Structure 1
Amino acid sequence: MAANSKRNVPIALPSMGEEEWLALREPIESGWLTQGAKVSAFEAAFAERHQVAHALATTSCTTALHLGMAALGVGPGDEVIVPAFTWVSTANAVLYCGAKPVLCDVDPVTFNIDPARLGALVTDRTKLVVVVHLFGLCADMDGIRAALPDRVRILEDAACAAGASYKGRPAGGLGTAACFSFHPRKSITCGEGGMLTTNDPELAARAEVMRNHGASISEEQRHQGPQPYLLPAFDELGFNYRMTDLQAAVANVQLGKLDGFVAEREQGARRYRQALGDIDWLRQPESPNDGQHAWQAYVTVVDPARAPKPRNEIMAELHERGVATRPGTHAVHMLGYYRQRFGFDVDDFPGARDCERNTMAIPLHNRMSDADFDHVVDAIRSVA
């Protein structure tokens, strides 16, 4: 430990280089910085990689979620089922549409929505279920679909799942639509940004209009067309959720590295599992037998009955040893706004409650060295 005492391993770190830097040159020199040819190229490449017909780039996964729900017609009086253990954006997007989020508890082993609990939550007002592929592990799509009537659509929150797959099918085409994130903690990034994917041409067309203020024609069509006096018609209430060509230029380079990034993370996950698997108080994350985990994060569970000290004390000790950790994410029903607005009790969703209290993400990213992995393992083993 003495040799590694000054090493600091961050929880996540984007992997970028000269290719991303050089990719910015063309849009900067051309002067076309907003949504344009670079965004179109990124959308086409992303759709091809994830085997979907349509991909629409947005400013974030949060805006992709809002856009997808709005394009699907979610509105006041509707109910949308979301997991109780997820980043707050999943539930917030429902509120943006004026609908009611209905929380469903999660499977504490996979961290994903529990199909066994879904059926009892469906009412005549249920419009949609948002299925989160948390930390890059695809949810049980067969079990979820079987629990729902055909009229209820599925929106994948695939924020963590670029490059993930379920039974040989990539995330992004497993439901009616899906939303991805390009935040710096994700496998590929352009600082911020998101993507809405779908195989439904009518949904894609409506989302395309709503993404650009509700305009009937794009900025490219307006500026490069033969009728400079032409203004678009605005027959839909829309938003400004357009990605810039600067972001897309970087994102397209990152997309070309996605499969390599996922393979590296898979190798790192196996390394952790082998090195930490014998610690009885630290449960390792699930890995699918019939799909690809994207490993956006490596999220362990500290068993409070067996651990040598409480999780928070373990995390504080690891911090002192130069190992960054985080709780997996939060339980939505335990957040102040949701408790105040909906009257949730901490114990209403015990699976989500325990996941918030006991999960511990440890460093896993594409800039980790062998020495970094060894340092993390040594630090965790020293806690006992």
Structure 2
Amino acid sequence: MEKRNIAISLPCTGEEEWQATREPLMSGWLTQGPKVAAFEKAFAERHQVPHALAVTSCTTGLHLALAGLGIGPGDEVIVPAFTWVATANVVLYCGATPVFIDVDPQTFNLDLEQVKAKVSDKTRAVIAVHLFGRCLDIDTLRAALPPSVAIVEDAACAAGASWKGRPAGSLGDVAAFSFHPRKSVTTGEGGMVTTANAELAEQMNQLRNHGASLSEEQRHHGPRPYLLPEFNLLGFNYRMTDLQGAVGLVQLAKLDGFIDEREQWAQYYCEQLSGIEWLRLPTVPEGGRHGWQAFVLYVDPAKAPMPRNEMMEILQAKGIATRPGTHAVHMLAYYRDRFDLKPDDFPAARDCNDHSMAIPLHNRMDAQDYAYVVEAIRQLG
């Protein structure tokens, strides 16, 4: 086949998103305002939660969630060892301690059998990552935890995904989503926090706006323009812009169609690559819907014809972008040095770090692209 150039991911944006930015640009309301409010309302309805708060990123959303829960120095938060570094970073932002747990190499998510052993009287929360769009078994996790321990969903990859008919974002006590361009729907940078807890929602709403008791929109439209908000909390500036909210509304309307298309091609990959004995393919949980933010393979080092990194270099030379699934946080220099961690401390996370490989799956690929990727992988041996 003729050489093609296939990105690992591309946002599926166009004329509709471009036109959506006109109203805030023309009105002059560029910061958090009516478009953000409409995006929040639509997102909450789609994910079956009463409260959704738009923020600047999933990272700030996770930080906001932990801060809203009152997590601070002396507290512990359980975190999977195989995840994007932000999942652990936000625990440190609060002055709390991340407690790592290994992952299940079949799902890339938390190994739930190890959770009970890591819970202590200092444990305040577990960050349940739905990695690559596959929801963690929240029911089993909840059963392993004392009622006082909160479940914070890191749903960065999981917009539109579900577990036993319940959408990601409605499964735990609070959740954070990402709208980075590598996610299914995007606002450039940006994120969303969801919860069913009205008190927590109000706390996070103030915290994202410097701790203000009155939003800018309320103040500008109120009858007493001389009023400034009271600041009872030490907050942050984590507000989304109305330009992003306008784009997010358009993207959200396309979410289910995007996932349907990704699901179709994920099934194609599974069918076409199933005969390769040195590859382990991703699976869909029974009764759940995979969000397919990424299609991540596991290259079995005992059977593979060459190391994963060599495969990635060959595919790159053929115009096919690949990436490791994500990283083992305990092997990153900051965490390794600060907490005196060794690669073998979390062997499954170590192996996923070294042998996982994401291949292109996004809504700007065509049938020829997918066939080209399959053929190139088959030619690896």
TM norm structure 1 = 0.99
How do 1:346-357 and structure 2 match up within 5 A? Answer: 346-357=343-354
**Residues 98-150 of structure 1, C-alpha deviations (whole Å, 9 max, x = no match):** 00000010000000001100000000000000000000000011111111111
Distance 1:268 1:78 in 2: 43
User: Cα offset for 1:235?
Assistant: 0.5
SS at match of 1:383: coil
**RMSD value, Cα:** 0.5
Give 3-state SS (helix, strand or coil) of 1:257's partner: helix
Alignment of 1:70-89 (within 5 A): 70-89=67-86
Taking only the aligned residue pairs, the percentage that are identical comes to 67
**Structure-1 separation of matches of 2:266 and 2:59:** 28
Cα distance, 1:227 vs. partner?
1.1
In the alignment, structure 1 segments of 5+ residues that lack a partner are: none
Equivalent in the alignment of 2:325:
328
| Corresponding position of 2:97 | 100
Amino acid at match of 1:336: A
Instruction: Report the counterpart of residue 23 of structure 1 in structure 2.
Output: 20
Query: Is it true that 1:299 corresponds to 2:293 in the alignment?
Result: no
The number of residues matched between the two structures is 381
Q: Could you say what secondary structure the match of 1:248 adopts?
A: helix
| Aligned-partner Cα distance in 1 for 2:224–2:240 | 25
Identify the match of residue 157 of structure 1 among 145, 154, 160.
Answer: 154
For 2:54, the equivalent position in structure 1 comes to 57
Cα distance, 1:17 vs. partner? 1.3
Give me the whole-angstrom Cα distance separating, in 1, the residues matched to 2:283 and 2:368: 25
Determine the C-alpha separation between the residues in 1 that align with 2:56 and 2:365.
Answer: 28
Separation in 2 of the partners of 1:26 and 1:302? 48
SS at 2:379's partner residue? helix
Displacement of 1:160: 0.1
Structure 1: distance between partners of 2:171 and 2:286: 18
In structure 2, how many angstroms separate the alpha carbons of the residues matched to 1:340 and 1:286? 35
Give the one of 38, 41, 45 matched to 2:42.
45
| Correspondence for 1:275 | 272
Decide which of 372, 375, 378 is 2:372's aligned counterpart. 375
Q: Displacement, 1:221?
A: 1.1
Is there any run of 5+ residues in structure 2 with no aligned partner, and where? none
Could you tell me which residue of structure 2 aligns to residue 134 of structure 1?
A: 131
Q: For 2:244 and 2:122, how far apart are their aligned partners in 1?
A: 38
2:356 paired with 1:359:
yes
Tell whether 2:339 aligns with 1:342.
yes
- The amino acid of 1:91's aligned partner reads A
How far off is 1:48 after superposition?
A: 0.1
2:163 equivalent in structure 1:
166
* 2:173 aligned with 1:176: yes
Deviations 1:222-268 (A, max 9, x none): 11211111110001000000000000000110000000000000001
Ranges of 4+ aligned residues in structure 1 off by more than 4 Å: none
Q: Does 1:245 align with 2:242?
A: yes
| Counterparts of 1:320 and 1:381, CA distance in 2 | 15
Give me the whole-angstrom Cα distance separating, in 2, the residues matched to 1:38 and 1:160: 23
Whole-Å separation in 2 of the counterparts to 1:144 and 1:190: 31
Which of 203, 211, 216 is 2:213 aligned to? 216
Q: 2:158 & 2:206 partners in 1: Cα distance?
A: 26
CA deviation after TM superposition for structure 1 residue 287, in Å: 1.2
Amino acid at match of 1:35: Q
| Residue 67, structure 1, aligned to residue 48, structure 2 | no
